[in-house]
Structures are given as structure tokens and as C-alpha cells.
Structure 1
Amino acid sequence: MRSFVPLFLVGILFPAIPAKQFTKCELSQLLKDIDGYGGITLPEFICTMFHTSGYDTQAMVENNGSTEYGLFQISNKLWCKSSQVPQSRNICDISCDKFLDDDITDDIMCAKKILDIKGIDYW
């Protein structure tokens, strides 16, 4: 019972931050600068994001010893830094946790790097 009280207090004092669940229309506005990047149309990006993350900014998926983060499901094996994979190449030069917030500016910048290096086949 004693361990329940502190846990209960933490839950009250620090409520969970809900994930941002984007709609297609919201994403279309936010991603209009990426339309045509790497030869990929905006509808292709929107469809890909639906199938990878369900438009959820806090989506995290375990995949073959790595974790994929955020809307674009960016892997900590190559693209971002996490404590799970300290030897990551961190090509996007960013902490993976940054892909879990509602500001997708850095997500888009990393997605462009991924497109430059791997193309749409990454997803």
C-alpha cells in the first residue's frame, strides 16, 4: 500500500502528455514543403505515414533489436541517438525522443535525409 501512494501522487502531479493524433488534412498542411521531395508525392507520404505510425506522434515500434520513433518511424539503428543503441550512427544528429513530440519540423528534416540516402524504400 505504501508504494501505491507515491505512484498515485506522481500520476496526479505529472499527468501523461497525450500523443498528437494528426488528421490527413493537418498533415497535408504541415507536409506541403515535402511534396515532390525525392520524387515522392504528398499523397504517397500521407499513405506511408498512416501505415507506419497511424499519424501518431508518439508511436514507438520495436523492430529487430531497434526501435522506430514518431510519425515517420525513424529507427535508432542509423538515424537518431538513444540509450538502447549507443553505437547508432545518428545520421540525423538528434535524440530519438525528439521524434515523439508534436513539433514535426525535426522529423521532416530527418525524413528528407532518409529519402536522400535510402529513398522511399526505407519505409
Structure 2
Amino acid sequence: MMSFVLLFLVSILFPAIQAKQLTKCEIPWVLKDLDGYGGITLPEWACIIFHTSGFDTQTIIKNNGSTEYGLFQISNNFWCKSHQIPQSRNICNITCESLLDDNLTDDVKCVQKILDIKGIDYWLAHKALCSEKLEQWRCETL
């Protein structure tokens, strides 16, 4: 009983970042605001997200002196604020850590800014892996 109480207190005092491991069939539901934005379809997004973060909102990848965060692997060089690169332009006006939770609202807004400024080529997986033959990224259960 004492261990249960201790575990309960620890879980209240130290809440974990809420992460989400998505599936390709959840993509259309959680990213509906991106459907067609910049001419990119949801199956394309499912493919891009799979190849960049494995559908995991807590993915962090260090890449040539910068770090990429979250489902969309948004870089701290330009798009979000981090302690690692204090001179980041923070174009999306968010902290990089906010890209690691399961609330994708700020992620989607940032993705839209990236699309407006850089286009879909920001995500290298798109041209190489996700611009054609997208049947496997469609979810027929919807």
C-alpha cells in the first residue's frame, strides 16, 4: 500500500510530457487541417511523418549541429527556440520542447509556416519517398 501511495505522489509531482505514438490511420484525424495545405495530401503526410519520426511525437534527432523535434522534425536552427541554439530565429514563435507533446496544434501551425516559406522540400523524405505510389499510406478504415 505504501508503494502505491509513493508511486501516486511521484506521478503527481513529476508529470511526464504527454507523447503520442500515432498510426497511419490516425493521421487523417489529427492532421485534418493540413489536408491539401500547400497541395500536400494526408497520405503524403503519413509517409513523410513515418520516415522522419516514425509517427512518434517525442522524436529528437541531432543533425549537423542542430536538433530536430517532434512528429515533423522541426529544426531549432530557424523554426523553434531552444537552449542549444539561443540565436535561433524562432520563426514559429514556439519552444522546441512544445513540439514533443501530443498537442499537435502548434506543430501544425509551424508546419504551415514552413510550407509557406520553404515548401514541401523542407522534408527530404517527400521527394525521395513520398511523392508517388502512396497507396500504402492510405487508411481504408476511415
Question: For the superposition of Structure 1 and Structure 2, which TM-score range results when normalised by the shorter chain?
Answer: 0.7 to 0.9
Match of 1:69 in 2: 69
SS in 2 for 1:24: coil
Is 1:106–2:106 an aligned residue pair?
Answer: yes
Match of 1:87 in 2: 87
Match of 1:29 in 2: 29
Structure 1 runs (4+) deviating above 2 angstroms are 12-19
Structure 2: tracts of 5 or more residues without a match: 1-5, 124-142
How far apart in 2 are the matches of 1:32 and 1:18? 21
How far apart in 1 are the matches of 2:82 and 2:33? 28
TM-score scaled by structure 1?
A: 0.86
How far apart in 2 are the matches of 1:77 and 1:17? 23
Give RMSD over aligned pairs: 1.8
TM-score scaled by structure 2?
A: 0.75
Is 1:115–2:115 an aligned residue pair?
Answer: yes
In the alignment of these two chains, the number of paired residues is: 114
How far apart in 1 are the matches of 2:117 and 2:75? 14
SS in 1 for 2:110: helix
What residue identity is the alignment partner of 1:107?
D
Match of 2:57 in 1: 57
How far apart in 1 are the matches of 2:16 and 2:106? 23
